[in-house]
A and B are shown apart, each in its own frame.
Chain A
């Protein structure tokens, strides 16, 4: 329970800090949105009129008051209005979100499937030792480092070039809703799948070398049994951490992907807002992605104790553990409880 509260508290703190940092950074930019939109001499507005507009937007108050005001209205769910178009930011987001969510969710899904597929095949027991499969194994193991080093925009451009223009498989213009998703999803999935696969391969290798895997084999387990029942759950933890962190990649990747493929979405919205210095929209996008990022990582944190009993730090553990831990360095593979039981066992 305390673990839960601590994690949630930590997540809230990150949110507040991220909001503040974003606000300070945007406020520090030279000029403001009022100037960017109404400062154009063609509009012929006088300095007085500009000041009036400022007052109407509340932009003439002190920085602290503005900050608090923004914070309070964000808490109430009021994201303000776009300086550029005057539309409610929440409406703009609601319009852009579904398309981006589809892209991101599909991208993540494809990335997961790809990573698991590569990792499981590259480490599968039946590929070990056999000469004919050795090359396949090393090829698969070499794939993730290659994929990791490719930038998103380059993958996007290459995919369009090859599949649309040269092979003509997927139309770029007038594509159906499904067709228009294929290339963007692939572009987004590849750089996310790569580090995931790398971490998975590594942790599967590590877990497979553990004595308890050999013991499971000695009970008659098949290669599939070992992979699913014994190795997978142990190897999942590091990959889970990685997946949480990669969510940031997903957000950044969506901006670039939408720009490259000319899709409407939060990414496109962000790009336009940056160009127009549309602070309320930028603020909303930053806060939205922070909330999602923090939430995803909170879920990951809360999943650890579910997946690994050793991380369930209940108050039931005896005081002996602390003693044993501080007196002897503890092997990473078997956390301190092992020491504890040694002590209390006697």
Chain B
């Protein structure tokens, strides 16, 4: 244990100075954090904002002493000051002392609630973990504390929840459980590492509200790690902007946002779809009189219930039209049926009822050879650019594959088409000989878009195509999509959960909720003057819009309907 110093009572709860973190890799030492200073005040929220690879997570892991096996703090200090004014240095602390600190004084709210709970143990057992680890033995006392915690984070019927397993709860509820476990021993410092990036927007808002509320109640300090400047803007009183392991800018949130001094902060602000307009594009609704390119009418998709149960309706009576050269957005949360609709338009699933006309072809009637031919008309771009590209093929092979499959062109023609399309998505020709793993997420998504375009489709279905990307990359891809639409006259079906992005790129929009189209029309009309409660709820949940914190009961009523 390091010698205790007595500081003025104003010393911040957490003080990080000159922190450096390096990882041992095959290519030698890689510095992920290169001299970071930050502080978290008691009862305050400090947000560390940055894109993937900025070192923000490494910094957070260093604060709780949980760097990966090959990582180590190579310099700087991390000091935690208790309520009694005792200051403890954490760098170089032996593992045994770390264990006594974790859970008791520093709590962690992890990133991905779906995989952060032990799948084979009950919710109650997981929440009781910190208590048992730190020496609680009395079963009745532990059980009582667990129920109290579950109630505290707003779960209904805590006794029943405690006996359930993680897979029986929704993502938002699981995150509440993890928050309960983090709070079990009332730590002074809470580290929230991207606590809501895996959740739907409306759930994100309620979970962040909960963290705020608990922080106020317990007086804990929060170190919030996020890629979303808008979330940070809403929740933090101090902002630390990180890039490439360094702090670009830090200061009180209002000051940083109003007058950013670093260029990088300005870029981040300019690319945040919920804060600024990131894409300049002219609305394309001039030619409303001509017949639309895509007409979906009365679409219904059922999935058979198991064992004679009533079938589950994924999409119910959905109708919309998309004029050529425009973008129609399908907006909704997970389970709203937007992906199902996208796949039906691309001819991958025959709907239970309804019709889909693309350029005069009834997609639902196609089969065999005609369906194969039709596939060149509508192309899909998936969300995950890491999973949608074959890791064993070179980029050129990936781009040529659709041409080979449809027997188009000679070998030389295919190669030149591949190079042309690389240029189209603003990638250098050298990329052609690389493999997907050598590319960044944004570059991969460009490749996926190029592959979709190489068959010269009329319609491109973009299924959450920008959701997994960092904001600046997201903004670049959105701009690319807009310019490709201008150049090639493409028609987009833009599937997204993010109304802020939709506002930027779409002409018309359908808002889906549990497979039902609750609202549709021109984007300006729907977003400026939403007529349905659900649309309003989605709009209010966009971080950075200011309307995130009404005096709500603390929990989304619908989140609780999951049994």
Assess whether B133 is interfacial by the CB under 8 Å rule: yes
Given known A211-B110, A322-B303, A345-B558, contact A220–B172 (CB-CB < 8 A): no
Contact of B165 among A212, A221, A310, A344 (CB under 8 A): A310
Most chain A CB atoms below 10 A, which of B99, B112, B339: B99
Interface string of B121-162 (1 = CB under 8 A from A): 110000001100110000000000000000000000000000
Assess whether A41 is interfacial by the CB under 8 Å rule: no
Give B146 Cβ to nearest chain A Cβ, in Å: 13
Q: A219 vs B335: C-alpha distance in the bound complex, in angstroms?
A: 33
Query: Contact: B69 with A129, CB < 8 Å?
Result: yes
Interface string of B547-563 (1 = CB under 8 A from A): 00000000000110111
Assess whether B483 is interfacial by the CB under 8 Å rule: no
Assess whether B306 is interfacial by the CB under 8 Å rule: yes
Give A280 Cβ to nearest chain B Cβ, in Å: 46
Query: Contact: B561 with A218, CB < 8 Å?
Result: no
Assess whether A217 is interfacial by the CB under 8 Å rule: yes
Interface string of A317-346 (1 = CB under 8 A from B): 011111110111000011101100111111
Interface string of B328-351 (1 = CB under 8 A from A): 000001111001100100000100
Interface string of A225-250 (1 = CB under 8 A from B): 10001100110000000000000000
Given known A219-B133, A220-B104, contact A341–B181 (CB-CB < 8 A): no
Query: Contact: A220 with B309, CB < 8 Å?
Result: no
Contact of B181 among A219, A222, A315, A324 (CB under 8 A): A219
In the complex, what residues of A have CB within 8 A of residue B108's CB? Answer: 215, 218-219
Give B302 Cβ to nearest chain A Cβ, in Å: 8
Assess whether A138 is interfacial by the CB under 8 Å rule: no
Give A131 Cβ to nearest chain B Cβ, in Å: 12
Query: Contact: A337 with B167, CB < 8 Å?
Result: yes
Query: Contact: A324 with B69, CB < 8 Å?
Result: no
Query: Contact: A327 with B303, CB < 8 Å?
Result: yes
Query: Contact: A319 with B310, CB < 8 Å?
Result: yes
Query: Contact: A233 with B120, CB < 8 Å?
Result: yes
- In chain B, what residue has the closest Cβ to A311? B120
Give A40 Cβ to nearest chain B Cβ, in Å: 63
In the complex, what residues of A have CB within 8 A of residue B130's CB? Answer: 219-220
In the complex, what residues of B have CB within 8 A of residue A128's CB? Answer: 69
Q: A45 vs B69: C-alpha distance in the bound complex, in angstroms?
A: 80
Contact of A211 among B102, B115, B122, B167 (CB under 8 A): B115
Assess whether A308 is interfacial by the CB under 8 Å rule: yes
Q: Give the size of the chain B interface in residues (CB under 8 angstroms).
A: 69
Assess whether B514 is interfacial by the CB under 8 Å rule: yes
Query: Contact: B129 with A308, CB < 8 Å?
Result: no
Assess whether A36 is interfacial by the CB under 8 Å rule: no
Query: Contact: A324 with B118, CB < 8 Å?
Result: no
Given known A211-B116, A220-B101, contact A345–B312 (CB-CB < 8 A): no
Assess whether B103 is interfacial by the CB under 8 Å rule: yes
Query: Contact: B168 with A345, CB < 8 Å?
Result: no
In the complex, what residues of B have CB within 8 A of residue A334's CB? Answer: 114-115, 119, 167
Contact of A220 among B114, B116, B134, B306 (CB under 8 A): B134
Given known A211-B115, A315-B307, A345-B559, contact A221–B129 (CB-CB < 8 A): yes
Query: Contact: A234 with B169, CB < 8 Å?
Result: no
Q: A37 vs B122: C-alpha distance in the bound complex, in angstroms?
A: 64
In the complex, what residues of B have CB within 8 A of residue A318's CB? Answer: 563
Contact of A210 among B64, B115, B307 (CB under 8 A): B115
Assess whether A21 is interfacial by the CB under 8 Å rule: no
Query: Contact: A319 with B309, CB < 8 Å?
Result: yes
Assess whether B170 is interfacial by the CB under 8 Å rule: yes
Q: A315 vs B306: C-alpha distance in the bound complex, in angstroms?
A: 9
Given known A315-B307, A319-B309, contact A338–B339 (CB-CB < 8 A): no
Give A80 Cβ to nearest chain B Cβ, in Å: 45
Contact of A319 among B111, B311, B561, B563 (CB under 8 A): B311
Interface string of B207-232 (1 = CB under 8 A from A): 00000000000000000000000000
Q: A214 vs B558: C-alpha distance in the bound complex, in angstroms?
A: 30
In the complex, what residues of A have CB within 8 A of residue B200's CB? Answer: 346
Query: Contact: B110 with A220, CB < 8 Å?
Result: no
Query: Contact: B335 with A234, CB < 8 Å?
Result: no
Assess whether B428 is interfacial by the CB under 8 Å rule: no
Query: Contact: A345 with B335, CB < 8 Å?
Result: yes
Query: Contact: B305 with A319, CB < 8 Å?
Result: yes
Interface residues in B387-437 by Cβ distance below 8 A to A read none
Contact of A222 among B99, B111, B121, B334 (CB under 8 A): B99
Query: Contact: B167 with A327, CB < 8 Å?
Result: no
Q: A309 vs B166: C-alpha distance in the bound complex, in angstroms?
A: 9
Interface string of A294-316 (1 = CB under 8 A from B): 00000000000001111000010
In the complex, what residues of A have CB within 8 A of residue B103's CB? Answer: 218-220
In the complex, what residues of A have CB within 8 A of residue B303's CB? Answer: 322-324, 326-327
Assess whether A216 is interfacial by the CB under 8 Å rule: yes
In the complex, what residues of B have CB within 8 A of residue A216's CB? Answer: 118, 129
Assess whether B30 is interfacial by the CB under 8 Å rule: no
Given known A327-B340, A342-B334, A344-B563, contact A319–B169 (CB-CB < 8 A): no
In the complex, what residues of A have CB within 8 A of residue B311's CB? Answer: 319, 323
Query: Contact: B336 with A346, CB < 8 Å?
Result: yes
Contact of A333 among B66, B115, B118, B313 (CB under 8 A): B115
Contact of A327 among B133, B181, B314, B561 (CB under 8 A): B314
- In chain A, what residue has the closest Cβ to B169? A341
In the complex, what residues of A have CB within 8 A of residue B203's CB? Answer: 345
Query: Contact: B70 with A129, CB < 8 Å?
Result: yes
Given known A324-B335, A334-B114, A346-B335, contact A217–B66 (CB-CB < 8 A): yes
Give A123 Cβ to nearest chain B Cβ, in Å: 12
Q: A216 vs B302: C-alpha distance in the bound complex, in angstroms?
A: 40
Assess whether B117 is interfacial by the CB under 8 Å rule: yes
| Residues of chain A having any CB pair with chain B under 8 Å | 128-129, 210-212, 214-222, 225, 229-230, 233-234, 307-310, 315, 318-324, 326-328, 333-335, 337-338, 341-346
Task: List 7 interface pairs A-B (beta carbons < 8 Å), by A numbering.
Answer: A210-B115, A212-B118, A219-B102, A233-B120, A322-B306, A334-B114, A344-B170
Further 4 A-B residue pairs, CB within 8 A, beyond A221-B133, A309-B122, A327-B303: A211-B115, A212-B119, A309-B165, A342-B334
